[in-house]
DNA sequence: ATTAGTCTCTCCAGTAACTGGAAGGTCAAG
DNA sequence: CTTGACCTTCCAGTTACTGGAGAGACTAAT
């Protein structure tokens, strides 16, 4: 399977698939005589796995780690849970941060008349 | 005032202040004979302004715009409010995204026993 | 057999906003 | 006069791609 078919099957841009091969995250299992990357079903499953993990916000390095666990029949669920829990903690932290950001900015936007006059509590707050 | 004093006063790393000068966001108002950047009170206020705006998640380009409005006595509060409202919308979108991410991952982590056994709903879901 | 169009390849550069480090000039204190 | 802290510029690296150039490969139609 050439790269565009594989990319299509995994719902990823061709460029991204090539990139994942370059960084050895999901290498093409073989090459044609002309040097074309050739993908099989197993590698497409890996590409899909990575796409989903990326959607969850796992970094490339975490994807690499998860992919290793994905392919390892002997890994424990504890290993996987550790990575997912770490990510969950990051998400919670980011949520708190965004919430206070939201509240403050909401307040500022609420108190700014937003008219033709120059006085502006937003600028006053920042300056 | 040399760069390290200015950076200290604005609570920014020296590297960052130099960077802001390089990209012409907050240039040093003058240079010493030896070529040292020299900062005055006005530029420190601008550095502080940028630091606060960055904390709010405004991009460098937005900071550039806000800084222009900050220094413009004739600008209307509507111009400022527009940028802040845009940022607020982005924050809300990101919050929604994070919330669904959180819920899904929370669920997966909750259903994974995280023990020595290999079966893992997190991997199953991603694969 | 040639040609047009659609692949594919590699390599280079750019994105955002810094950060780290090397090599070298400057300044104040002892 | 030397030591140490400061300053300068320039280059490289970070994350995860994305865009594009230039060149080779493959397919279908003429």
pLDDT digits (tens, 9 = 90+) for A76-112: 999 999 999 999 999 999 999 999 999 999 999 999 9
Is pLDDT at B2 greater than 90 in this prediction?
A: yes
Tell me the pairing of strands A37-38 and B30-31: unpaired
Cβ neighbours of A43 in B, within 8 Å: none
pLDDT digits (tens, 9 = 90+) for B15-68: 999 999 999 999 999 999 999 999 999 999 999 999 999 999 999 999 999 999
Angle at B65 between CA B59 and CA B71, to 5 degrees: 130
Q: How distant is C1' of D7 from CA of B28, in Å? A: 14
- Measured CA to C1', the nucleotide nearest B15 is C19
Computed over every residue of chain A, the mean pLDDT equals: 94
> How is residue B15 written in tokens?
């590297």
Q: What percent of chain B has pLDDT over 70?
A: 100
Measured CA to CA, the distance from residue B6 to residue B71 in angstroms comes to 19
| CATH topology assigned to domain B1-74 | Multidrug-efflux Transporter Regulator; Chain: A; Domain 2 (1.10.1660)
Q: From start to end of chain B, where are the E strands? A: 30-31, 37-38
- Place B73 in a pLDDT band, splitting at 50, 70 and 90: confident
Cβ of A4 near strand D (distance < 7 A): no
- What are the contacts of A121-124 at 24+ separation with CB within 8 A? A122/B77, A122/B80, A122/B81, A122/B84, A123/B66, A123/B69, A123/B70, A123/B77, A123/B80
- Measured CA to C1', the nucleotide nearest B36 is D7
> In chain B, what are the domain boundaries?
1-74, 76-127
**Of A54, A38, A98, A49, residue with least CA distance to A71:** A49
**Of B62, B61, B69, B95, residue with least CA distance to A112:** B69
Q: What secondary structure letter does DSSP report for A23?
A: T
B32-51 residues touching A, CB cutoff 8 A: 45, 48-49
Inter-chain touch B118–A52, beta carbons under 8 Å: no
- Residue A95 three-state SS: helix
> How is residue A55 written in tokens?
């959607």
CATH class of segment(s) A1-75:
mainly alpha
Inter-chain touch B118–A77, beta carbons under 8 Å: yes
Measured CA to CA, the distance from residue B81 to residue A122 in angstroms comes to 8
- Residue A61 three-state SS: helix
Dihedral sign for Cα atoms in the order B14, B15, B17, B18: positive
**Cα dihedral B96, B98, B103, B108 in deg (nearest 10):** 150
Using the structure block, give the residue that is written with the tokens 């012409």: B24
């Amino acid at each position: 399977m050439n790269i565009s078919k594989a990319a299509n099957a995994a719902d990823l841009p061709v460029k991204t698939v090539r990139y994942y091969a370059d960084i050895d995250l999901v290498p093409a299992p073989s090459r044609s005589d002309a040097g074309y990357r050739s993908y099989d079903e197993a590698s497409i499953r890996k590409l899909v796995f990575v796409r989903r993990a990326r959607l969850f916000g796992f970094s490339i390095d975490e994807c690499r780690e998860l992919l290793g666990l994905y392919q390892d029949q002997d890994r424990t669920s504890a290993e996987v849970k550790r990575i997912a829990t770490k990510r969950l903690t990051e998400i919670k932290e980011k949520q708190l941060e965004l919430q206070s950001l939201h509240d403050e900015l909401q307040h500022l936007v609420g108190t700014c008349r937003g008219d033709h006059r120059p006085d502006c509590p937003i600028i006053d707050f920042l300056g």
